[in-house]
Amino acid sequence: MTIADIAALTGVAASTVSRALSRPDRVNRVTRERIQAAARELNYVPNTQARALSSGRTETVALLVSDATNPFFFGLIRGAQQQLRAAGHALLLIDTEDSAELENHLLHKVRRSIDGVILAASRLPEQTLSDIAAELPVVTVNRNVPRVRSVVIDSPDGVRQAVEHLVSLGHRAIAYVAGPSSSWADQARWRAMRTAMARHGLTAARVGPFGVSRSSGSVAADALLNTGATAGVTFNDLLAIGILRRLAERGVDVPGEISVVGCDDIFGADFCSPPLTTLTAPIEQAGRVAVSMLLDHLEHLGETASRQTVLLPTHLTIRQSSGPAPRR
């Protein structure tokens, strides 16, 4: 089933068929309908490759995540997938395995096969990022770089909420359990933490950096206890869940002896033990918005973007891992 078959069947030229299908207004109604009917009849599906080759558009968007195992990204993938399908585009999923080099390399490799790319938690240096954005439509998630459009989840504000929450419960010694130092989000959260603490005349302790996995949680838990803090705010839920587990192993009561607040509200945060107080992030929405921005950008290439950055609000979801500070 090629465009030529339809052309032969309907007695028009191939170019007319092409137009009838992709720019319907360029061809007379009756001709168009005849062609469309024939196409439907023959169950015609345009060849993506051929189309891409001549038009340059692939109707495919790549989503780069640093680690496909991290549940945080699943919401993102889902949201992106949904929105992309609605627009009839395909999703190329790429796992960069937390490596900036690999990220750069793979990006370079697929660059010609996609219309645009969504970079989730990119590890790339700013300069590289803007270079890439200059030659390929890019939307970043949770990473803000000048001249690159982005959707960022306002976790820093969430961190502020978390601090208010903990302080109101009587906590004075609160530690931040840091994630990977290469993470832009980590830095933003730590900054927010210090600011929020300072507003109460307190200073935040900091342990880490740690990897974002539950196993890193074990060592993070021990480090957290060493700070003497009565509460910890963690870089993300994966880490927090790992910490919870380690604390349970060590017989430390949560929240009796120490409170733990996570970040993101991933799958599992509501049913771990104890259920995790955490910053609920609109992850799926972030995926959808990122795609919308990208597609919107694609449609108006050349025009200057209306909005370069979208900030998505978070809120604190209080569960059972946080409670009043212990008396000393």
Q: Under the rule (CB under 7 A), what is the footprint of DNA? A: 1-4, 11-16, 18-19, 21-23, 25-29, 31-32, 44, 46-47, 50-51, 53-56
224 phi-psi bin (left φ>0, alpha ψ -120 to 50, beta other): alpha
Binding partner at 77 among DNA, its own copies, none, C-beta below 5 to 8 Å by kind: its own copies
92 Cβ partners below 8 Å, 6+ apart? 60, 61, 62, 63, 110, 113, 114
Residue 82 tokens, joined: 């949904």
56 versus 146: smaller Cβ distance to DNA: 56
- Close Cβ partners of 199 (under 8 Å, ≥ 6 residues apart): none
203 binds, among DNA, its own copies, none (CB under 5 to 8 A by kind): none
**254: alpha, beta or left, given left = phi > 0 and alpha = psi -120 to 50?**
beta
Tokens found for residue 163:
């601090």
- Strands in the chain per DSSP E: 60-65, 90-95, 116-120, 138-141, 149-153, 174-177, 205-207, 231-234, 259-264, 277-280, 309-312, 315-317
Q: Which does 19 bind (CB under 5 to 8 A by kind): its own copies, DNA, none?
A: DNA
Cα–Cα distance, 217 to 191 (Å, whole number): 22
- 241 binds, options its own copies, DNA, none, Cβ within 5 to 8 A by partner type: its own copies
Provide the minimum distance between the beta carbon of 190 and its own copies in the complex, in angstroms, as a whole number.
26
Judged by CB, which is closer to its own copies: 111, or 147?
111
Minimum distance between the CB of residue 29 and its own copies, rounded to whole angstroms?
Answer: 26
For its own copies, give the closer residue by CB, 204 or 241.
Answer: 241
Q: Smallest distance, Å, CB 190 to DNA?
A: 44
Q: Is residue 168 near its own copies by the rule CB under 8 A?
A: no
Quick one: 11 or 170, whose CB is closer to DNA? Answer: 11
Residue 91, contacted partner among its own copies, DNA, none, CB below 5-8 A by kind: its own copies
Q: Name the CA radius of gyration of the chain, rounded.
A: 25
Nearest residue (CB) to DNA, 21 versus 310: 21
- Selected from 71, 87, 219, 298, the binder of its own copies by CB under 8 A is 71
Q: CB under 5 to 8 A by kind: which of its own copies, DNA, none does 168 bind? A: none
Ranges within 39-68 binding its own copies (CB under 8 A): 43, 45, 47-50, 52-53, 58, 60, 68
Residue 174: half-sphere exposure toward Cβ, Cα within 13 Å: 33
Query: What is the C-alpha end-to-end distance of the chain, expressed in Å?
Result: 78
Least Cβ distance, residue 295 to DNA (angstroms): 17
Cα separation, 64 vs 67, whole angstroms: 9
Among 14, 21, 100, 110, binds its own copies (CB under 8 A): 110
Contacts of 237 (CB under 8 A, 6+ apart): 71, 72, 262, 263, 264, 265, 266, 268, 269, 276, 278
The answer to whether 205 contacts its own copies (rule: CB under 8 A) is no
Separation CA 190–CA 193 (nearest Å)? 5
Q: Which residues bind its own copies (CB under 8 A)?
A: 43, 45, 47-50, 52-53, 58, 60, 68-69, 71, 74, 77-78, 81-82, 85, 90-95, 108-113, 214, 241, 244-245, 267-268, 271-273
